Amino acid sequence: MTFSEVIYIIIIERAKTKKEVTKMRKTEIREAIERLEELKETIYEAMDEMEEILKEVAPDVYTMSKSYWLAHVDGALENRGN
């Protein structure tokens, strides 16, 4: 399940009734999901930059980060396994 699908499910589950869901315009939901996808890509781009910096200036920290916090962030978003 992708990050956007999870967000969509949360939106639907938080709506109290089906009428409430239909009141939410589909375009608003679609736009929200698209923006969340853009933000996810921004996070991945920042993570790539962090990895490059850590590789250059602190290889030991990079190794630990790659297997710990970078892996957690990746797993929470899309599990690309950079």
Residue 82, pLDDT > 60, answer no
Give the confidence band of 44 by pLDDT, cuts at 50, 70, 90. Answer: very high
Number of domains in the chain: 1
Query: Which pTM was predicted?
Result: 0.68
pLDDT tens, position by position, 2-17: 676 777 777 777 666 6
Considering the domain boundaries, does residue 48 fall inside one? Answer: yes
**Token pair belonging to 14:** 């938080």
Q: Tokens 């916090």 identify what position? A: 69
Considering the domain boundaries, does residue 20 fall inside one? Answer: yes
The most confident of the ranges 2-11, 12-21, 41-50, 72-81 is: 41-50
Structure confidence at residue 8 (pLDDT): 72
Considering the domain boundaries, does residue 10 fall inside one? Answer: yes
Enclosing domain of residue 47 = 3-77
Considering the domain boundaries, does residue 57 fall inside one? Answer: yes
Dump the DSSP string for 5-71: HHHHHHHHHHSSSHHHHHHS-HHHHHHHHHHHHHHHHHHHHHHHHHHHHHHHH-HHHHHHHHHTHHH
Considering the domain boundaries, does residue 82 fall inside one? Answer: no
Considering the domain boundaries, does residue 13 fall inside one? Answer: yes
